[in-house]
Structure 1
């Protein structure tokens, strides 16, 4: 019988050729043949190419895609500067956008975690978050995953060593954020984190492990915190959603979630599980159409005092890509509602409940 590693390598080759459906079938077959626990080693990177759908999504209809988009070139904006942070958990490079309003008053900070194979420049271009920051006045921090830590540039959300406070990547990202806060005039009550795919999964982990740092989180096409601890459970969650609802024990900070219901890379039920833990006494559901053409369903969940705890945006027909994003970056869906603008609105509506 072929080993699980060889079967997954075959799925990787299919994905690289653009046949995502066949790759998904191959992963399902691999899991079926190897139902028992499988060891996780350095060569078995859960996200591999399975987290990446090839190409820019510019044509109408689910499953249509344009040519593969190369990563955006490095920005020449003097306000978008490079830096590096190191601690006992390792070191990571980052890019920081400093808005023109910097120094006039304490400003919000949004931490943006890219998806697999992306980098800060590419993610900034695709989300257009720097343009929003220039208009509205807030800092944007883009940590960069090291290819030594994950060959595909994915945040290691699926490893138990990167899911707890004070260790691994959560500790490194939290301390990097605090360093930037110490170097700039950041409002400590308005610090937020958002991410795409593997970055969204890590944002969920940061919301659970550092609620004293991040006032709210945004998860796009991601998974709940601690939904997996190894390769088989991670692939299963990506394929079918969380097997155990207790895995989505978030709810410690307000959350806004975007997910396409045509996402064949990360099952859309993962988004529902993220906000389920934040569910309050009431839920308001509305439907509309984005200017780009996609319909969406927006669910707003409120607590007993009427305060919004979570928003869930289910974008109909959307693939595994940043909704409303710019074609200048990779893995974006310009037809959907503007996830960047809506996340920013949600964040600014949710400063820290107990001011520092």
Structure 2
């Protein structure tokens, strides 16, 4: 009887050892279950579904802040060796002047589109509520704040962590933030697949060296950044803004694209025309909002995402 008990104990120990090996990956499929587990953070970035306030050191006194919205697709997706099996697209959403990351998050509703479609959204904070978009605007311009470097470092952090796809990074902005989106496309076209510009102007020297897809919204009754140009560029700069047609033609010619021909109607009553895709995959779409003022159009966030999703970096 004692011999039978000893034999049963030995068998139990062997089976327990096999089970432990399977848990550690020794007897499981592929990399094993342990390798598929989602970590709470990657490179200090939370991976749980929701919106997280983050800090980014930029090599100067103090730090910069941003909100990062993580959709369920990242949290519940497949993971390998502590990183997503497939990184997600990233949208940088830049607030207008005298606003902030929290206000723009509420204004645009990008979180909901992100949850529905499966992409990351980062809402960075400007410097004293402004962005240095070139010859505009306010404190960021006066302080010569290196916003291009800040946004580039933010992109590098999220792509370097394996969370965001470096070939599918997009910048969307409103007003002063729209001007900053233009500047990113001008100075870091290698990091930006496409931009979405709402009620903004191109007010920075621009030699991108490669085409960037652009979707541009502008209201005909905008008094802050007039549709046909004019107004006042900044509190200490009486020059007017260039007309929206200047930016549309610039990006169209940069991409060696034809005149606008294809007409579509977007959400919110915008009248949109497009060049179609060029030989290098870039496209320019312009959406005129008849009677539209200096505001974020209804449905613009979803329309911008539909455009972005069709234009990965070539």
Q: TM-score range by the shorter chain?
A: 0.5 to 0.7
1:47-126 aligned at under 5 Å gives the runs 79-88=50-59, 91-102=63-74, 103-104=77-78, 105-126=86-107
When residues 300 and 349 of structure 1 are mapped into structure 2, their CA distance, relative to the original with a 3 A threshold, is same
Structure 2 distance, partners of 1:282, 1:128, is 32
Structure 2 distance, partners of 1:301, 1:81, is 38
When residues 86 and 274 of structure 1 are mapped into structure 2, their CA distance, relative to the original with a 3 A threshold, is same
Q: Which runs of 5+ in 2 are unaligned?
A: 1-47, 79-85, 229-242
RMSD of equivalent CA atoms: 2.6
Structure 2 residue aligned with 1:176? 154
Structure 1 distance, partners of 2:92, 2:265, is 29
**Contact in 2 for aligned 1:107/1:185 (Cα 8 Å):** yes
**Contact in 1 for aligned 2:94/2:172 (Cα 8 Å):** yes
Which structure has the higher relative contact order (CA within 8 Å, separation 6+)? 1
Structure 2 residue aligned with 1:235? none
* Structure 1 moving runs of 4+ over 3 Å: 158-163, 247-251, 287-290, 302-308
Structure 2 distance, partners of 1:347, 1:100, is 20
Q: Which runs of 5+ in 1 are unaligned?
A: 1-76, 148-152, 227-246, 325-337
Structure 1 residue aligned with 2:309? 348
Structure 1 distance, partners of 2:287, 2:183, is 20
**Contact in 1 for aligned 2:136/2:203 (Cα 8 Å):** no
**Contact in 2 for aligned 1:248/1:277 (Cα 8 Å):** no
| Normalised TM-score (structure 2) | 0.67
SS at match of 1:158: coil
Structure 2 residue aligned with 1:7? none
SS at match of 2:306: helix
Structure 2 distance, partners of 1:344, 1:89, is 33
Q: Does 1:157 align with 2:133?
A: yes
| Normalised TM-score (structure 1) | 0.60
**Contact in 2 for aligned 1:89/1:168 (Cα 8 Å):** no
Q: Number of aligned pairs?
A: 233
SS at match of 2:305: helix
